[in-house]
Amino acid sequence: MHIHKFEQFWIKLSFGLIAFFIATVVYGFVSMDLKVIGDYQTIDPQGLDATPFGTPGVREVTRNGATEYEVYVQTLQFAFVPGTSSPITVPANTRVTFYITSPDVLHGFDVAGTNLNTMSIPGQVAKFTTIFPEAREYGIVCNEYCGPAHHIMEGIIKVVPKSEFDKSTLVE
Ligand code: CUA
């Protein structure tokens, strides 16, 4: 069968583009450590007080014999609790799992300068685990339009050296 050379060119270009797009996705997941946040847990947005979100903050847990931290955060119009009026303080080089939800409207939780970024959806719990490699501060921004003060909704994650982590700031 004869295929005209221009047709051959476009066929090759089409398959080349498909291969390129697949390669960019593979590159993101393999080299940039991108992950899709899975298994959303549902929650009653009016019933957060009866859950750990009722006392939001950083908790210490022991998992497989290792000390880890869990951070429960509520996103509100227009603050991260904790995060905005007081920073979320966690130690460096330690596993930290964030649980994030919203009692009011859709918000974002984007840790600036990292690939940590999730939506905070009323009725769902977003969860991700990370290890901050160094002591420094990170800004948190809301990147979903949530109302008239959306643009000032921001917070801070303060990563401190393990030896300087003050456990008196933990919640029970
Ligand atoms: Cu909260 Cu935008």
Please state the domain count of the chain: 2
Cα 144 to ligand 1 centre (Å):
5
pLDDT for 168 equals 85
Task: Please tell me the pTM assigned to this model.
Answer: 0.81
Using an 8 Å Cβ cutoff, are 144 and 108 in contact? yes
Q: Are residues 31 and 56 in the same domain?
A: no
Do 31 and 79 sit in the same domain of this protein?
A: no
CA distance 144 to 100: 14
Query: How far does residue 162's CA lie from ligand 1's centre (Å)?
Result: 31
Would strands 136-141 and 154-160 be described as parallel, antiparallel, or unpaired? antiparallel
- Helix ranges (H only) for 32-111 are none
- In this structure, what token pair is assigned to residue 87? 């920073």
Query: What is the DSSP code (8-state) at residue 40?
Result: P
Q: Which two tokens stand for residue 8?
A: 């051959």
The answer to whether residues 45 and 114 belong to one domain is: yes
> Does any ligand 1 atom lie closer than 6 A to the CB of residue 144?
yes
Query: What pLDDT is recorded for position 31?
Result: 86
* 129 in the same domain as 45: yes
Angle at CA of residue 129, ends 94 and 27, nearest 5°: 110
CB 81 near ligand 1, within 6 Å: no
CATH number for the domain spanning 123: value is 2.60.40.420
Q: Is there a single domain that holds both residue 90 and residue 106?
A: yes
Mean pLDDT for each 10-residue chunk of the chain (172 residues)?
91 96 91 72 90 94 92 96 95 96 96 94 93 96 96 96 89 82
Same domain, 119 and 105: yes
Nearest CA to ligand 1 atom 1: 107
Domain shared by 132 and 153, yes or no: yes
Quote the pLDDT of residue 167.
85
**Nearest atom (ligand 1) to Cα of 106:** 1
Domain span at 3:
1-36
Q: Give CA angle at 105 (100, 111), nearest 5°.
A: 40
Instruction: Examine the domain organization and report whether 46 and 15 are in the same domain.
Output: no
Same domain (yes/no): 45, 32: no
Residues 45 and 5 in one domain: no
Kindly state whether residues 126 and 103 are assigned to the same domain. yes
Q: Are 80 and 126 part of one and the same domain?
A: yes
Cα dihedral 152/110/138/61 (nearest 10): 120
Ligand 1 center from residue 140 Cα (angstroms) = 11
